Amino acid sequence: MEAQPHSAGTGTMGKRMTENRGKVEKKTNHSTEQHRNTGQLAQEEATHQHISLAIDRDIVAGKQHMKRFSIISVKEIREGYVHTQKIRERLSELVDKGWNWPTKPLRDGRYIVECPSKETARHLESKRTPMVMPYFTLEFAAWMPDLWGPTRPDGEKRLVIIREFPFFCWSRVLAARLLKPVGHLIHIAGRTLEFGDDVKVFLRIRRPQTLPTFIHCTTGTRCHSYKVELVPGQPPLA
């Protein structure tokens, strides 16, 4: 009897290879989908970190510097498209040829431009009608700290007295760090009229913190204890 080719065996092997291939493809697709979902989940579950800063001279200087900046909104495009180079060129032609008008796009579709002076910025923003250019129209608005719609911080603002606050910690940076267990430093009002070792400060009291309270701060080989209490006449904490 002649030997028959292994048609059946070959068919079985082919069937197994097809099944295995299907499993691999299914597993690969599952892994791809799982990776995609994981990426979306990681994006949705971004963590939040919080920090508070005292309003010191660096922040004040930064806000003063930003007075030279103006926010541009493109109100109408009649031909072509608008980009930073076109805005710079038109402002140079119409306002000040000696300034290069640094301009950057913002994520909301507007632009921010640095003017040669804060007076120039206020002049552009004070125009009652938008600036009409050959191919587009621009409107200027003052830069404000709430550009991105920041939320209000949680807590209640109160004027408090810090009794026996360490003298070497009266700088805003150190005071903010030493008072962080109670709340966020807004402003140091200065010494009290009664005692030279007490200081008045504006704090945003962190909920559900109550006053008065003691803070115990260890520096080196010493532990400093100072008391935080409301200035008389302040409304009680909610």
108-123 pLDDT, tens digit per residue, is 999 999 999 999 999 9
Distances (CA, A) of 151 to 109, 154, 176, 185: 21, 9, 21, 17
Whether 33 maps to a domain, the answer reads no
**What is the per-residue pLDDT for 229?**
94
**What is the per-residue pLDDT for 100?**
94
Percent of all residues in the chain with a pLDDT value above 90, rounded to a whole number: 43
Which residues form the domain of 182?
156-230
Residues 112, 165 within the same domain? no
Residues 137, 91 within the same domain? yes
Whether 45 maps to a domain, the answer reads no
Residue 22 or residue 208, greater confidence = 208
Whether the per-residue pLDDT at 6 is higher than 50: the answer is no
User: 92, 110, 142: which is the final residue of a domain?
Assistant: 142
Mean pLDDT of 201-228: 91
Category of 51 on φ-ψ map: left (φ > 0), alpha (ψ -120 to 50) or beta: beta
Whether 29 maps to a domain, the answer reads no
User: 142, 171, 201: which is the final residue of a domain?
Assistant: 142
In DSSP terms, which residues pair with 163 in a beta bridge?
198, 227
* CB 111, CB 147: distance < 8 Å: no
Whether 205 maps to a domain, the answer reads yes
- Tokens 């004070």 — which residue? 126
Mean pLDDT of 155-176: 89
User: 142, 173, 188: which is the final residue of a domain?
Assistant: 142
**Residues near 30 by beta carbon (within 8 Å), at least 6 away in sequence:** none
Distance CA 92, CA 88 (A): 6
**Exposed, middle or buried, 131 (CB in 10 Å: 0-12/13-18/19+)?**
middle
Whether 171 maps to a domain, the answer reads yes
Residues 174, 221 within the same domain? yes
Percent of all residues in the chain with a pLDDT value above 70, rounded to a whole number: 79
